[in-house]
Amino acid sequence: MYKSKTPISVILITFNEEDKIRKTIEAVSSLTDDIIIIDSFSTDNTVEICKELGARVIQQVWQGYGKQKNTGHAYAKYDWILSIDADEVVSPALLAELKNLNPPSEKQVFSIPFKTYFCNTLIRFGGWNPQFHIRLFNKKNVQWDTLAVHETLSLTNDIVVITLTGFIDHYSYDSIEDYTSKSSKYTDLFAIRLKERGKKSSWTKMYVSPLFTFIKEYIFKLGILDGAMGFKIACLNYNYTKQKYRKLHLLLKK
C-alpha cells in the first residue's frame, strides 16, 4: 500500500552506485511501495543493496539516459513518477510535501529546487545555484526525450509547471577527478549532439564563450562568495565549455 495521498512510483537509473544508492533509497522508502531501479549491469554491490532495501531491479544494456528512464515508466505501478538520480537525496521537507500532494490535474508537473554539493561542500552560488528540475510528473502525459546527454522532459503546451518548496540534496561529484572523468564523457556526447543539430564551432565559441562562462558564474552569479571552491567550479566550467566546442571542431574536421 502506498504511503502518500497520491500514489507515486520512484524511478532511478544506476550503474555502480554502491557508495550512494542506500542513502538515496532510504530517503524515499516511506513514500511508496514502488521503487524501481533500471540498472545497466553494475559490477559492484549496487543491485544487492537495492534489493535489500526492497526496490525492484530491472537490468538492461545502457541505451542512453532518456531511454533508460522511460523504461522505468513501463514497469511503474503508478502513473505519478518521481524521477531521481542515484546521487540525489530527497530532503525530509520534500518528503512531507510529496506525501501530502494531491494534484488536481494529470497535466501538472512539479519542479523541485536542488541544493548542490561538490566534494561534499554545499555550493550556494555560481552556475549551479539556484537550480530547479522537473522531477514529478504523470507518465501518461510526459516522457523523457532521447538526447545523448542532459536529457529533458518533453512537455506539451498544456502542461502546467508548479514549483515545490522542499528540496533535493544533489551530491554531484566526490572529487575533482570524478568531475574530470564525467565531464570528458559529457563533452564527447555534447559535441556529437551539436554536430547532429548542424551547429558550428568557431574561434568565438572555443575561446570567448568559455571566458564568458567563467565571468558570468564567478562574478555575476556570485561564485566568488563560495571562496576557493567557487573559483574551482568556475574554472572547471570554463574548461567544460571550451572542451565541448573544441571536440565539435575536431568532429567537423573529419
Which of 128, 148, 172 lies at the terminal end of a domain, its last residue? 172
Which pLDDT does position 254 carry in this prediction?
73
- Same domain (yes/no): 109, 47: yes
| Cβ atoms of residues 83 and 69 within 8 Å | yes
pTM for this model (two decimals): 0.90
- Same domain (yes/no): 23, 34: yes
- Same domain (yes/no): 149, 70: yes
**Which three three-digit cell numbers place residue 8?**
507515486
Phi, psi of 113 (to 5 degrees): -70, 145
- Same domain (yes/no): 160, 201: no
- Same domain (yes/no): 103, 218: no
Flag whether 15 is in a domain: yes
- Same domain (yes/no): 189, 166: no
- Same domain (yes/no): 215, 129: no
- Secondary structure string (H, E, C) spanning 38-101: EECCCCCCHHHHHHHCCCEEEECCCCCHHHHHHHHHHHCCCCEEEECCCCEEECHHHHHHHHCC
Which pLDDT does position 144 carry in this prediction?
95
Which pLDDT does position 148 carry in this prediction?
59
- Same domain (yes/no): 156, 72: yes
**Which three three-digit cell numbers place residue 51?**
534489493
Flag whether 1 is in a domain: no
Nearest to 246 by CA among 197, 193, 205, 186: 205
Phi, psi of 155 (to 5 degrees): -115, 135
Q: How many helices (H) and strands (E) does the chain have?
A: 8, 12
- When divided into structural domains, the chain yields a total of 2
Which CATH number does the domain housing residue 15 bear? 3.90.550.10
Which pLDDT does position 1 carry in this prediction?
47
Which pLDDT does position 130 carry in this prediction?
83
- Same domain (yes/no): 183, 126: no
Mean pLDDT (10-residue bins), the chain, 254 residues: 80 97 97 97 98 98 93 97 98 97 95 95 91 96 80 91 97 90 87 84 90 96 95 95 92 81
